[in-house]
Amino acid sequence: MATKTATKDLTQGAPGKLVFSFAIPMVLGILLQQFYSLVDTMIVGRYLGKEALAGVGSTGSLNFIVLGFCMGICNGFAVIVAQKFGAKDEKGLRKTVAASIWLTIVIGAIVTVVTCIFCKPMLQLMKTPESIFDSAATYIFIIFAGIPAMLLYNMSAAIIRALGDSRSPILFLAIAAAINIGLDLMFIGQMGMHVEGAAYATVLSQGISGAFCVIYIRKRFEILHMEKGEMRPDGLVMKQLLGIGLPMGLQYSITGIGSVILQASVNGLGDVSVAAMTTALKVHILLSCPLDGLGQAMAPYAGQNVGASRLDRVGQGLRAALVYAAVISAVLMVLVLLFGGHAATLFLDKDKLAGEADAIIRLSKQYLITVTAFDFLVGVVNTVRFTIQGMGFSNFAMIAGLLEMVARSIAGIVLIPMIGFAGACFSSPLAWIFADAFLVPAYFWCKKRLSMA
């Protein structure tokens, strides 16, 4: 039966081994996603120059607020899917998936319209430099118009992972990555498009990846074949989904507000600092993919085990994940110390930058070394936060996001005016310290609360 080969029960077997094996495909998927984002940036920087690169980079925090909200909602809905699957409630599982689809359609339509209307005023509020404003506005408008394509992939991939299959979305993402890079080269390199070419390539590739996921679900997951009446919107199920999904989405957005404040402060330092931070962030996001994938693996793992009333396995899996995070963080620090100075040269043509190239490379290396030195802290944030979300306490994850926002706001309002670019370098470590101080005790409280239920 197709469901026996397509799904995976995370409530049986050695927790550490399960977390590791489930996380590997998720890490590869995130690496693929970041790789073609990295190639986007490289093509924009090398073909279109520093201003275009800074324009695309300056939209990063605004992008994170909106797309992070959408992805958080999808992951939140998938927590309930994982719990229903772990509890072997097949009818409840199908009704949850159906309600998730309806809510995603409605939320996607609202978010797309609102963000397309307000993207330019937001860029103005962020004090985006005039020299890069047009590039930033063009790029982010197209990305926001493509939110339905992004939601199609993220919701369908989240459902697949919730049912224990973390490998299949990688194949679809790999195909999309190849298409994205090909379209980048065609639109920008051959057709002479500006930043809109990179945006169109991203949206189209996400839509294709999402379509593959939907086809796969229909063919492989017999357990999701709807019976009569199960596709009808269910108010109670929707309320439960929103109770988990909205706080998870808001967690990303609240965190992103701090990033917007930070980005506005960096924008005030000039386009050299913006370009340096853009390149360093892209490299660090790529390097930290193993920590992100490890964290994301904990949500379906915890969700299934909570659904099966196996709280002991939740703690065992989390402890194993933290050990993996410590090892990964040490390896990343070595890599950055050895090769961090070459990161910015991947994105920029030094011959076109005159004397600015050395400044961009120096600032980029400074940011990378500072942030990577604290990577274990983000490993703790990711693993503990996603575990708490999988346990069903997404409100706590939102509070952690609020603390990250406060920390990044402090960096943007206080540190950068005082110490310049170095303040931006310490913004993420400060945010992780604030979040961990809350998340670690919150996890033990959640576990105690569930054991008493």
Reported as a single tens digit per residue, the pLDDT across 384-413 is: 998 998 888 878 877 888 888 888 888 888
| 76 domain-assigned | yes
Q: Are 221 and 163 in contact (CB under 8 A)?
A: yes
Compute CA 404 distance to the chain's CA centroid, rounded to the nearest angstrom.
Answer: 15
Reported as a single tens digit per residue, the pLDDT across 292-310 is: 889 888 988 888 888 888 8
Counting the structural domains of the chain, the total is: 1
The answer on pLDDT for 138 being more than 70 is: yes
| 14 domain-assigned | no
Instruction: Please state, in angstroms and rounded to a whole number, the distance separating the CA atoms of residues 303 and 387.
Output: 8
Where b means 16+ CB within 10 Å and e means fewer, 237-253 reads: bbebbbebbbbbbbbbb
Q: Which residues contact 141 (CB under 8 A, 6 or more apart)?
A: 116, 119, 120
Lowest mean pLDDT among 33-42, 141-150, 175-184, 201-210: 33-42
| 12 domain-assigned | no
**Nearest residue to 144 via CA among 66, 215, 90, 258:** 66
Where in the sequence is the domain holding 396, given as residue range(s)? 22-452
Tell me, what's the pLDDT at 4? 43
Instruction: Please state, in angstroms and rounded to a whole number, the distance separating the CA atoms of residues 90 and 107.
Output: 26
Tell me, what's the pLDDT at 1? 35
**Nearest residue to 100 via CA among 29, 145, 160, 164:** 160
Query: Chain-wide mean pLDDT for the chain?
Result: 84
The answer on pLDDT for 135 being more than 60 is: yes
**Percent above pLDDT 70 for the chain:** 92
| Mean pLDDT of all residues in 88-94 | 87
Q: Report which DSSP code applies to 353.
A: S
Instruction: Please state, in angstroms and rounded to a whole number, the distance separating the CA atoms of residues 452 and 444.
Output: 12
Tell me, what's the pLDDT at 381? 93
**Nearest residue to 393 via CA among 312, 306, 294:** 306
Compute CA 326 distance to the chain's CA centroid, rounded to the nearest angstrom.
Answer: 21
Where b means 16+ CB within 10 Å and e means fewer, 93-115 reads: bbbbbbbbbbbbeebbeebbeeb
For tokens 């039966």, what's the residue? 1
Tell me, what's the pLDDT at 263? 73
| 81 domain-assigned | yes
Question: Binning pLDDT at 50, 70 and 90, where does residue 112 land?
Answer: very high
Question: Binning pLDDT at 50, 70 and 90, where does residue 3 land?
Answer: very low
| 206 domain-assigned | yes
**Percent above pLDDT 90 for the chain:** 22
Reported as a single tens digit per residue, the pLDDT across 224-270 is: 888 888 888 888 989 989 888 888 788 777 766 766 777 778 877 87
Q: Are 353 and 271 in contact (CB under 8 A)?
A: no
For tokens 């986007």, what's the residue? 40
Tell me, what's the pLDDT at 404? 86
For tokens 């994938």, what's the residue? 293
Q: Which two tokens stand for residue 289?
A: 């993919």
**Longest C-alpha distance within the chain, in Å?**
68
| 208 domain-assigned | yes
| 10 domain-assigned | no
| 255 domain-assigned | yes
Question: Binning pLDDT at 50, 70 and 90, where does residue 36 land?
Answer: low
